[in-house]
Amino acid sequence: MRRVAIVGAAMTKFGEEWERGFRDLIAEAGLKAIEDANMSGNELDAIYGGTMAAGRLIGQEHITALIADYMGLNPIPATRVEAACASGGVALRSGYLAVASGHHDNVVVGGVEKMTDVPVGEAAIALGGAGDQEWELFMGATFPALYAMMARRHMHEFGTTEEQMAMVAVKNHANAAKNPYAHFQKEITLRDVMKSKKVASPLKLYDCSPITDGAAAIVLTPLEKARKYTDTPVEIVASSQASDTLALHHRKSLTTLNSSVVASRNAFNMARMKPSYIDVCEVHDCFTIAEIIAYEDLGFVKKGKGGKAIEDGETTLDGKIPVNTSGGLKGCGHPVGATGVKQAVEITWQLRGEAKKRQVRGAEIGMTHNVGGSGATCVVHIMKRVN
Amino acid sequence: MSSMTVGLPLTWRRIPERYNLIGSECEICHTKYFPVRRICPQCRRKGKMKEVKLSGKGKVYSYTRIYAPPSGFELDAPYMIAIIELEEGPRLTAQVEDCNARDVKIGTPVEMIFRKIQEDGKEGLIHYGFKFKTVSGTSHILQE
């Protein structure tokens, strides 16, 4: 296996991008990432694209053919990767494996979702496909409801409170307000979250990530060639993925995602690192409870102590382990297929020292944690600044 | 419109499970599953699956009350969804109704009832299946 580096990273503004369609978004992110890598399109060997529900959201399948076409990259191979909300992270891993194996040298990985071309209800149905359509969604469950049932168990088993969950939203909005690419540009208060309307008890509107348009892209190359393209390569020192039951009700526990536990443990082994080595981390906070569970599953705190960690400010920008400096899914927005790639873009910027107002000083090692559905897929990457 | 319009064959295939709570049991490790599985995830090729009818009695493992319903469930909202742990072991997701919402807690005993789940518009299929109610519950109107 060859060592792999990120040499280009870019994203579009995330938000309700009425003026731009699917192909505009991915072309912008892809071309900016290739430009960021100082690479010409002719040097690229392959495209991996992560998108979850283009068929349902814009009526278009075969989307990587579209991407190759509209980025002017024909005839190189273009492969779509789908793993619900982990589509972007799994696309990144596919690109990583292609370069690590020696089969391809220069690979562009894109993630994209165009969600606001359909009414909100239709987007919610499309997202429901990430769960068990026949045995969860059919019965009237929704994605907020599934995470609400995790939250209820977490409160029951560990005494986690609605206020602690709300603090995740407050922190991530504060970070998003420092990120010009984020969907939400405003800070919010604990009271705003607590007073927001109920969605699925105990979760309220501000506990939930929004419906967002956006795209992100990363350019990969073998580490040994990385200096040809950039002075600030970022090495992917671990890539790991794990699976769990499709339906939430089949899990042994609702207060942990075993896919997160396994993927992160394997990633730390691969990188020969421990959780305490991580300087900055992007986790999958599709709902506020998901971030609290992630602190525990990734090993930053002991099981059950996630609520206390947010309350004690351990994960703020100047905390012990800054989490979701981009604003996370909650503040930066969650165009599902783009999210996993966007996390890698944020970590790349952090490790290069380019994150401006939200820069974690001296960040050398970063991590991304991208979850599909209610935890049926988890993909984890660890990145390191190359000195 | 239902949450996801599905055709007649799929609905028919699911009738034994959705109407009568037919699940599977592995004759090798005796683990029971719901819904039906063809392969025992623990024994895999060594396993031997047979169909088994589940009692419909269990208790609430976790629950939530949905205020933002998916399309097709607007008239039901707010309604309660729970993960139920059946006394035979398997867990499933179902609505809890016909009882006082305040009585539904983690650990509350519940039993299966047969209800309409959703319909595909005014002229489409009506989908039936299981919901649950608290064992002690009578027919109070759902209230909080």
Determine whether the interchain pair A139/B82 forms a contact, defined as Cβ–Cβ distance below 8 Å: no
Determine whether the interchain pair B63/A140 forms a contact, defined as Cβ–Cβ distance below 8 Å: no
Q: Can you give the residue ranges of every domain in chain B?
A: 1-21+56-144, 22-54
Phi, psi of A324 (to 5 degrees): 60, 55
Residue B61 near chain A (CB below 8 Å) = yes
Alpha-carbon distance values, B34 to A63, A269, B44, B60 (Å): 36, 36, 16, 16
**B144 pLDDT exceeds 90?**
no
Residue A8 belongs to domain spanning = 4-119+212-234
Determine whether the interchain pair B92/A135 forms a contact, defined as Cβ–Cβ distance below 8 Å: yes
**A198 pLDDT exceeds 60?**
yes
Angle, helix A288-297 to helix A143-158, in steps of 10 degrees = 50
Say whether both A13 and A51 belong to one domain.
yes
Across residues A250-259, what is the average pLDDT?
A: 98
Say whether both A198 and A309 belong to one domain.
yes
Q: Report the distance separating Cα A21 and Cα A115, nearest Å.
A: 10
Q: What is the ipTM of this complex?
A: 0.95
Q: Are B34 and B51 in contact (CB under 8 A)?
A: no
CA distance A247 to chain B (A): 9
Instruction: Name which of A140, A150, A153 is nearest B73 (Cβ-Cβ).
Output: A140
CA angle A120/A51/A237 to nearest 5° reads 130
Say whether both A290 and A200 belong to one domain.
yes
Say whether both A335 and A229 belong to one domain.
no
Instruction: Name which of A137, A141, A152 is nearest B4 (Cβ-Cβ).
Output: A137
Range in A4-8, A249-253, B4-8, B42-46 the model is least confident about: B4-8
Alpha-carbon distance values, A17 to A179, A182, A335, A346 (Å): 17, 12, 11, 20
Other CB atoms within 10 A of residue B123 CB: 6
CATH number at residue A74: 3.40.47.10
Determine whether the interchain pair A140/B64 forms a contact, defined as Cβ–Cβ distance below 8 Å: no
User: Is beta strand A107-113 parallel, antiparallel or unpaired with respect to A46-50?
Assistant: parallel
Asked, for residue A306, whether it belongs to a domain, the answer is yes
Across residues A340-357, what is the average pLDDT?
A: 98
Which residue do the tokens 């990767």 mark? Answer: A81
**Beta bridge pairs of residue A110:** A49, A217
- Among A169, A200, A234, give the residue marking a domain's end: A234
For residue A219, what is the DSSP state?
E
Across residues A98-109, what is the average pLDDT?
A: 98
Say whether both A312 and A216 belong to one domain.
no
Q: Look over chain B and give the mean of its residue pLDDT values, rounded to a whole number.
A: 90
Q: Which amino acid is at A255?
A: T
Is the CA virtual torsion A335, A339, A343, A349 positive or negative?
negative
Say whether both A145 and A218 belong to one domain.
no
Across residues A68-74, what is the average pLDDT?
A: 96
Q: How confident is the model at residue B5 (pLDDT cuts 50, 70, 90)?
A: low
Determine whether the interchain pair B117/A139 forms a contact, defined as Cβ–Cβ distance below 8 Å: yes
Asked, for residue A187, whether it belongs to a domain, the answer is yes
For residue A323, what is the DSSP state?
B
Q: Report the distance separating Cα B89 and Cα B57, nearest Å.
A: 10
Is A332 annotated in the active site? no
**Beta bridge pairs of residue B74:** none
Determine whether the interchain pair A249/B73 forms a contact, defined as Cβ–Cβ distance below 8 Å: no
**B139 pLDDT exceeds 50?**
no
Is A281 annotated in the active site? no
Across residues A136-161, what is the average pLDDT?
A: 97
Kindly list the residues from chain A whose CB atom is less than 8 angstroms away from the CB atom of residue B127.
Answer: 138
Determine whether the interchain pair B3/A145 forms a contact, defined as Cβ–Cβ distance below 8 Å: no
Across residues B88-92, what is the average pLDDT?
A: 98
For residue A213, what is the DSSP state?
B
Marked catalytic residue, from A284, A334, A369, A381: A334
Q: How confident is the model at residue B143 (pLDDT cuts 50, 70, 90)?
A: very low
CA distance B136 to chain A (A): 23
- Looking at residue B142, what is its pLDDT? 47
**B141 pLDDT exceeds 90?**
no
All residues at 6 or more sequence positions from B89 whose CB lies less than 8 Å from its CB, including other chains: B31, B32
- Looking at residue B101, what is its pLDDT? 87
CA distance B28 to chain A (A): 20
Say whether both A162 and A229 belong to one domain.
no
Determine whether the interchain pair A138/B71 forms a contact, defined as Cβ–Cβ distance below 8 Å: no
For residue A238, what is the DSSP state?
E
Q: Report the distance separating Cα A50 and Cα A64, nearest Å.
A: 9
Name the residue with higher pLDDT: A16 or B119.
A16
Q: Which amino acid is at A72?
A: G
Q: Are A306 and A261 in contact (CB under 8 A)?
A: no
Kindly list the residues from chain A whose CB atom is less than 8 angstroms away from the CB atom of residue B82.
Answer: 149
Instruction: Name which of A122, A138, A152 is nearest B62 (Cβ-Cβ).
Output: A152
Other CB atoms within 10 A of residue A19 CB: 7
Asked, for residue A56, whether it belongs to a domain, the answer is yes
Say whether both A39 and A168 belong to one domain.
no
Determine whether the interchain pair B92/A141 forms a contact, defined as Cβ–Cβ distance below 8 Å: no
Say whether both A276 and A224 belong to one domain.
no
Residue B30 token pair: 């005796």
Q: Are A58 and A89 in contact (CB under 8 A)?
A: no
Asked, for residue A261, whether it belongs to a domain, the answer is yes
* Cis upstream peptide for B9 (omega within 30°): no
Say whether both A230 and A241 belong to one domain.
no
Residue in A with minimal Cα distance to B131: A139
Instruction: Name which of A133, A198, A249 is nearest B4 (Cβ-Cβ).
Output: A133
Type and span of the H or E element at B80: strand B79-86
Which residue do the tokens 């072309």 mark? Answer: A27
Say whether both A81 and A22 belong to one domain.
yes
Cβ burial, residue B43 (10 Å; 0-12/13-18/19+): middle
DSSP B96-144: E-SS-GGG--TT-EEEEEEEEEEESTTTSPEEEEEEEEESS--SPPP--
**Beta bridge pairs of residue A380:** A240, A369
- Looking at residue B2, what is its pLDDT? 46
Type and span of the H or E element at A335: none
For B121, what's the count of Cα atoms within 13 Å in the CB-facing half-sphere? 7
- Among A199, A234, A269, give the residue marking a domain's end: A234
Kindly list the residues from chain A whose CB atom is less than 8 angstroms away from the CB atom of residue B68.
Answer: 142, 144, 198-200
CA angle A246/A121/A86 to nearest 5° reads 35
End-to-end CA distance of chain A: 21
For A72, what's the count of Cα atoms within 13 Å in the CB-facing half-sphere? 7
Residue B128 near chain A (CB below 8 Å) = no
Say whether both A241 and A314 belong to one domain.
yes
Range in A117-121, A270-274, A304-308, B7-11 the model is least confident about: B7-11
Number of domains in chain A: 2
Q: How confident is the model at residue B4 (pLDDT cuts 50, 70, 90)?
A: low
Alpha helices for chain A (secondary structure H): 22-36, 54-57, 63-70, 87-100, 120-128, 143-158, 162-176, 190-195, 258-271, 288-297, 306-311, 328-332, 336-352
Which residue do the tokens 């299981």 mark? Answer: B130
Q: Are A386 and A234 in contact (CB under 8 A)?
A: yes
Range 82-101 of B in CB contact (< 8 A) with A: 82-83, 91-95
Q: Report the distance separating Cα B63 and Cα B96, nearest Å.
A: 9
All residues at 6 or more sequence positions from A387 whose CB lies less than 8 Å from its CB, including other chains: A364
Q: Are B51 and B24 in contact (CB under 8 A)?
A: yes
